[in-house]
Amino acid sequence: MPIRSADDLYAAIRHCTTDVEEIARRTGLRPVNVVKIKEHLFYREHLLDKYEDLGVPAERRRFDSDPVIAGWWERLRKGAHTDDDLRLLRHEAAESWFMRKHGPSYRDAHETAQNRFPAPANLWT
């Protein structure tokens, strides 16, 4: 089986029509909330301003494709998720809510979500 790029994995997620219901059923979240998280991660453009203090100009675009996030979404879809996966789901839900209510700044949304629902760092190790 060929290794797929993160961009290919994200394209497959964007085209999937059954994942929202599967994730909702397996996690207990309402489908409408899973849709908001999927839109946040895979469709919406955000103001990516996290590194402005380091001289990296902010730009408005989608999040970069991340194989860890794609794998996480697949585990949620299959019902093979861990407690850390559920923690990240809560974090992304909070980040998405903040951006819808307070504007597109990723830095502000991430910091606020991190304070309430810290994203598990070990998913990227």
Where residue 55 falls (left for φ over 0; alpha for ψ -120 to 50; beta otherwise) is left
% of the chain exceeding 70 in pLDDT: 96
Give the predicted TM-score (pTM) of the model.
Answer: 0.91
Q: Which residue in 80, 77, 75, 108 sits closest to 94, CA to CA?
A: 108
First to last CA, the chain: 24
The confidence score (pLDDT) of residue 114 equals: 93
Element (H, E) at 61: strand 59-61
Domain residue limits, the chain: 6-124
